[in-house]
Structure 1
Amino acid sequence: MIEEKRYRVVIRCPQCGEKFVLKGSRKEDGTIQTGFVRCICGNSSHLYVDTAPE
């Protein structure tokens, strides 16, 4: 059985300064899935993302 590792993901928006702290899991292609789509200001392209294993 493969154990799915969880990651702490911090997303910061430089346009409005909002910060989001989420939990995510790594997909088979290497990306981390959190379900985050866009910031509350509407920004979906220019975001700072930091990840760390839990």
Structure 2
Amino acid sequence: MVKERLKVTIRCNKCGERYTLRGTVTKGGKLETGFKRCLCDNDKDFKISSDQF
């Protein structure tokens, strides 16, 4: 089974930093990238968008 890979953009709503990562969709429909927290130590307040590769 091949997992669908997505281009995921994460933007921190606290400091404005932007991260572009590769991610997959889990069985539950959640995006998984491995991203944990921003450089400003924010770990909850993000805007997340995705595009298919």
**Per-residue CA shift, 1:17-54, capped at 9, x if unaligned?**
10000000111111111000010101111100001111
Matched residues in 1 for 2:23 and 2:38: separation?
17
Aligned length: 53
Amino acid at match of 2:44: S
Considering only aligned residues, what root-mean-square deviation do their CA atoms show, in Å? 0.8
The alignment's TM-score, normalised by the length of structure 2, stands at 0.91
Matched residues in 2 for 1:46 and 1:3: separation?
31
Q: 1:21-36 counterparts in 2 under 5 A?
A: 21-36=20-35
- Stretches of structure 1 lacking an aligned partner (at least 5 in a row): none
Identity of aligned residues (%): 34
Counterpart of 2:3?
4
Q: Which structure shows the higher strand fraction?
A: 2
Counterpart of 2:43?
44
The alignment's TM-score, normalised by the length of structure 1, stands at 0.89
Counterpart of 1:19?
18
